[in-house]
Each structure stands twice: as structure tokens, then as C-alpha cells.
Amino acid sequence: MDSLKMLLLKESQQHHLSLQDASLETWHDLLSRVVQKKISTNRIAKDTYATQLFYFSMEFLPGRFLRNNLDHLGWLDQAKSFLSTYEIDLHDVLNTENDPALGNGGLGRLASCFLDSMANKKLRGHGMGLLYEYGLFKQEFLSGRQIELPDRWKQSSSYEWEQKPDAEYTVSFWGKVHQHNNGDRLVFEYTDQEQVQAKLYSIPITGYSQEQVNQLYLWKACPTEIDPSLTAEQQLLKRKKATEITEFLYPDDSTSEGMILRLKQQYFLVSAGAQHLFTLAHRHGGIRTFFNHYLVHINDTHPSMIIPELMRLFMDVEGLGWDEAWAIVTTSVHYTNHTLLAEAMEKWPIVLFQPLLPRIYEIIVEINERFCRSVWHHHSEKRDKISDMAIVSYGHVHMVHLAVIGSNKVNGVSTLHSHLLQTETLVNFAQMNPKKFTSVTNGITHRFWLHRVNPALSDLINEAIGDTWLQDPFELIKLADFQTSTPFLEELSKIKKRNKQTLIDTTLTFSETKVDPGSLFDVHCKRLHGYKRQLLNALHIWHLYTELRENPDRLPFPRTFLFAAKAAPGYAFAKKVIHYIHTIASVINKDATIQGKLKVIFIENYRISLAEQLIPAAEVSEQISLAGKEASGTGNMKLMMNGALTIGTRDGATIEMAEHAGEDNMFLFGANAADTKKPYFSKSYYDKDIRIKNVLQPLVNGTFSDNAIYSDLYYSLIQNNDEYRLLQDFSSYAQAHKQIELLYTDQLLWQKKSLANIAASGYFSSDRAIEDYQARVWTSI
């Protein structure tokens, strides 16, 4: 077998590259190409006809590829040593790779963690998404304000996406549907349609064994063939209308044009994907046995039009009757819900939907009518609920209802979230068909989020319990035996210190603020959203600051609060919170009277490669959403796995983390989900707690600026009755922080609790989540 060195030399000769003066990017390209070739030869050898799962998602956040693949091929050490003969550091080469930021947050990263676990568990499971030209925006701060810059992630160093020339499909929008009888079957014809070409790209997803190489399939929208009858201007317009479909992730949908573009994206993904599955089905035994060969999973409601699109293909193209088509679709499709927030429940105005997707709309109307009729006849107890459960009602198409009605299984992503889904949000559906609903608590790939991002900790674990945990994360529980071993706990502490220093040297060097590596690192990293309550953290920091101004000795050690978060471009409140955090940071960080006891840093441009640095350095993990709002959270698991102690509410998967690690190894506080149903009057908390008054007054009394720059934050909390109940939890949050401070002075006990968290984190591996999906949802693979 050729060594990596031989392959690199061969490849460089073929491309006439001189390795002596190759740039880091050139090295990256070269390594990528060799790795790709190696993986594709493995792939050909392993193809089988077993059932395949297609995981449809608008988001994927795979992180950088090259490092993962070198590791999986067992080539990391060879690469390091070969490059060092040219005085090149492999790290520098790997760092040139841009993150494919084809996602927004937890939803996208979950999809990528699942792909990793499926490949490692040798399941045939592929991703199906869109190849966005621009990733999620690049965030910069200008005078404390977020500005959004385009993320041209493909333009510089990137991993090569392979185009599949035999997979091209036409996706059609608008136009008129004409149907007529041709003998015994209906024939559909369309006129005046706008057509777009879908081209397929893919990247292999590997696991350690190399026995199963899966694919992340991404579609790119291109114009169909040039029509010579069009003027140059018309051709340009045609090109724009096609390419804009896969230009951006989540284009602004505050206008009708924006909504149409979103709908086009969603339909484009499912139509191209479904046509591809039909092509594969025809190759492998025909479409009538579709469900023996293919499973479709929809990641949230964005791809739920796969249901009417499959119906269209089965009926209009293949000539199946409704009942047979419906039976196949509702056997093959499964749906995961990822949020209960009303604002994220997708619904589209019929006036936009119907003209854009006329045939899909017809099919949805038929699904809806059949569903409503069956409720009327078979669930008479729900007759008065029909309009609330309908897909088409109140002038809108309700995508959650479509997804539920057309899926075989529906699941939430934590025990609490699934419970709320079944007892509140989707209660009528769950009562009618309880067996359809299940729960699968999310998970994260421990190979990436522990072994890869925290190699020192991974080595320590290997020394202690061997390396079988890499394939069986439940093995991590064996670490609990080391809770009484002082040398082990001291080693754990040293690793955390080194990770903190690395973060300081790599990421925080760009900050003007000097951070003490001996300070307690408290990390709040996730999307910026009202319900995630970054503002609660910030208000508490201001409270801590006022205490320190009175008595800097109140804290025996310094604390550093680190934030990293992107706000949706149109979300004014979230952007204001970013600005507020910058403002308090600038006051606190330069105030000499507090003797450096407190530092606040907002790190720019949160993304996977930053999370890789930040999470291993965290000592405290902020999981402080309003109970009942965070469906699961996955950052909570990543931080736990890296030994951070959680300060958190009883929300999402944090509840289950406490069950596994023990409540006394966490700092739980605040109202629970049931409490949040009780009446609430924020002003009463303001009136009775002087600390709250003291932190809120500066928002409006000119402390930070002459104009009322933060009055909107103030009004949201007082006049608008504090939708996310920050004031209700302020006191218990402050109390939990006091407990953190107390515990941190006993380093051995701190490390013991940290180890308890790492040991209990195996349950939160996506390997376990995938096993649960196999047992409860995808029972045929």
C-alpha cells in the first residue's frame, strides 16, 4: 500500500507543483485531493444494497473536513512528519480551511453530528441539503455593533466538493396545471413554468472504520439550458432567478419576495432530492418497494414538502393511485420537531403558495381534505378541533401539520420538549394517534467534541480507561472511578489550564483586554435570542461589577465572562443585547478599582472552528434559557463533555444532564416549565428587589450614554412584562453564581464535579441518539 508520502509526491508531480515553495493553501489542496482519492476507492469497495436513510435538512455544519479525514484514515502522524520536512506545520495548513457555515446553529450541527455517528456505526445514512454560495454571514463588531459581511466560504481554501454529473434534475415553479384522462390514468401537463436545474454535489462522510463511507449531498441551483430566443437581458434574469435559490441560507422573509424565495429553496431541495431517490429506486428494484430501500427523515419542517412531492412523483409520474402512494409516503417519512416557539412554526400565506407551487398545493389540499374527513368520521371527539389541526386553514398552509400528518413517526429532541409537544403544541394529534409520537434526546459526536477538540483530555482518558470509549461512549462512565484520585484530578485541572492558555494565545490575543489564565472562565456561546437570555447573564455581570466596586475582595479570584453569538440580521432586540454587552465590557474591563477581578469579552464570529477552541477552555457553561423554550440544546452537552460545570435552568436536555451527572454536580436554578405557566408581573420583581432596580436603572438613566440607547431593553423588561421572565429568575441566578464562586475556591472538589460530568456524558453522544432513532423511528435500518 502506498504511504501518504508517496501519494503526495505522486500528486504533486502530476500537477507540476513544487513542494519547496508551496503555500499553506497549496498544501491543503494537495492533501485534500489525496485524501479524497483514497476515500473514494474505499467507497467503491463497500457499496451495498441495504436500506438507506436520507436526512433532509436546510442546514449542515460539518466543520473543517481535512483534519477529520486524515484522522479517520490514520494519516495524521504521517502528514505531520512529512510536512515538517518542509518546515510546514500541519496545524497551519488545517487552519487555512474555511468552515462550511451552511447552517445557523444547533439544528445544522446536530445534522452533522448524526452523519458522523451513522458513518461510525456503519449505517447507510446520507445528508441531503443545499450548497449555499454564501455561508451564514461573517460577524464583525464595529463600535460594539454587529455588522454582517458575506461569507464566501468556497472562494479561498476549501475542501473539494465532487460534482455528480449523472444526477441533474429539473425543478419547476409557477405555471398552470392541466390534467386530462389518457385511457385509465390521469396525465398532467404544465404550461408557463419557470424551470431551474438542480445539480448534485457531494462530500464523503467517513468514520474510523472506513467500512461505511456515507455522503453529504448538496444541491446547487443553476439555469436550465440557454434558450436562443431570449435576449441577453432575459438570459441574465433567468440566471439570477435560478442561482439566487442557493445563494443564501434563510434569506430575509419579511417581504413577499423573501417568502417566495424561501419557499423556492425548500421546494428545490425536496424536489431535487425526491427525484434523485426515484432514480435510485428505479435502479434498485422499482418504486413500489420504495420503503424497503429508503427512509426519509425531515429535520424540522423546512423540508416537509417532500411529502406532497413524493405523492406527486408516485401518482403523476409513476401512475400509482392515491392510497398506494400515501401508504408508501407515510411509511417512509419521519419528522423531528426542533422548536416550540410560535414564531418558528412555519406557515405560508395561500396567496403566495398556490401560484408558486400549483400542483403541490392541489396535493396538499387533497391531503388536508382527506385528513379532515377522517377526523370527522373516526375521531368525533376532535370535530371542534378540525380547523386548528388542518393543514390549510385561516388563509395559510401550516407546515407543522403537514409534517405530522404525512409522517410515520414524529419526535421531539428531549424528554421535556417531547412531552410539551404531545401535551400542548400538538396535543390533538398526539391524542388521536399516540403511537406516532416519540422522543429522542439529542446527542453530539464525542469523537469530534471531545477526542478531536480536546486531544489532551482524550489522551488522559485513553490512559485511564483505554480507547474503546471512542466507539462506545458509555465507557466514559469508568472515569467515575477516578473521582478520588488526586493525581488524576490535578491532571484534569492542568489540561483545563492549558486549554485556557491556548484560547488566550490563539483567539483572545485579538482582544484589547488582557485575560488572566487563572481566572474562572464562564462561557455563554449559542445563537443570540431573547429566550436564551444572554441579557440575564449580562445584567448579572453588571450586578457583580457593582458589588466589586464596593469591595474588590468580595471575590477571592478573578472571573472572565466570555460570550460568542450571532444575532439574526433582522432581530433588533438581539443586536441591542450584543451592543449592551460590549458597553458593559468596555466600562468593566478598564475600571482599575476592581483590581482586574472581572473581565467581559464578546468573541467575534461564533462558528464551529471557534467553538473548537472555546469549549475545551470553559469552566462554567451558561444554559439559562427560560424553562420550556430550549427544545434540547446541544452546546450544553459539548461543554459538559469537556468538563465545564453547568449553571442552568431545568430546560431541554439540561434536565437529563442533571439526571445523569447528579444535580449536585450542577448549578440548577430558577423557575421550571410548569412555573412559567403561572401569572407573571415583572414589575413586582423590580419593586421588591433592589439589585434588580440597580441593574435596570442604568439602562435609562444616562449611565452609558446621554441618549436612551437601551430604553428598548428596559421597556421589554418592565412595560412589556419581560416575555422571557429574566426578572423572575434573577435572584436564584445570582444565588447559583455565589455557589459557583464558593466551589471554585476548593479546586479538588471542583475537578471532582467536572470529572463526574465527563464520566456521565456518554449518554449525550450522538451514537446513543442514533441507536434510539433506530429503535424508535427508523426501525427498518
Rounded to a whole number of angstroms, the distance between the first and last alpha carbons of the chain is 34
Min dist CB 511 to ligand 26V, Å, is 28
* Dist. CA 551–CA 95, nearest whole Å: 44
Comparing CB distances to ligand 26V, the nearer of 22 and 340 is: 340
Comparing CB distances to ligand 26V, the nearer of 332 and 339 is: 339
Min dist CB 110 to ligand 26V, Å, is 4
Nearest to 86 by CA among 143, 31, 148, 142: 31
* Dist. CA 772–CA 765, nearest whole Å: 11
Nearest to 575 by CA among 214, 139, 33: 139
At 316, list the grid cell.
403523476
Min dist CB 640 to ligand 26V, Å, is 14
For residue 140, give the H/E element and its range: strand 135-142
> From its phi and psi, is residue 657 left (phi > 0), alpha (psi between -120 and 50) or beta?
alpha
Min dist CB 698 to ligand 26V, Å, is 31
Comparing CB distances to ligand 26V, the nearer of 496 and 575 is: 575
Comparing CB distances to ligand 26V, the nearer of 449 and 686 is: 449
3-state DSSP helix/strand/coil % of the chain, to nearest 5: 55, 15, 30
Active-site residue list: 338, 526-527, 532, 634, 638
| Contact (CB, 8 A) for 407 and 298 | yes
Min dist CB 300 to ligand 26V, Å, is 5
Comparing CB distances to ligand 26V, the nearer of 110 and 402 is: 110
* Dist. CA 97–CA 32, nearest whole Å: 10
Comparing CB distances to ligand 26V, the nearer of 116 and 491 is: 116
At 103, list the grid cell.
447552517
| Contact (CB, 8 A) for 566 and 528 | yes
For residue 243, give the H/E element and its range: helix 232-243
Min dist CB 145 to ligand 26V, Å, is 21
Min dist CB 688 to ligand 26V, Å, is 32
Residue closest to ligand 26V (Cβ)? 106
Min dist CB 564 to ligand 26V, Å, is 16
Nearest to 448 by CA among 643, 217, 638, 605: 638
Comparing CB distances to ligand 26V, the nearer of 250 and 606 is: 250
Q: Which residues bind ligand 26V (CB under 6 A)?
A: 104-107, 110, 250, 300, 338-339, 344, 413, 442, 630-634, 652
The DSSP bridge partners found for residue 177 are 190
Can you state the angle between helices 726-744 and 747-760, rounded to 10 degrees? 120
| Contact (CB, 8 A) for 727 and 445 | no
Comparing CB distances to ligand 26V, the nearer of 259 and 295 is: 259
Strand, helix or coil for residue 97? coil
147 Cα distance to chain centroid? 22
Give the CA angle between residues 392, 393, 399 to the nearest 5°. Answer: 50
Residue 154, judged by CB atoms within 10 A of its CB (0-12, 13-18, 19+), counts as: middle
| Contact (CB, 8 A) for 309 and 271 | yes
Q: Which residue has the cell 454529473?
A: 165
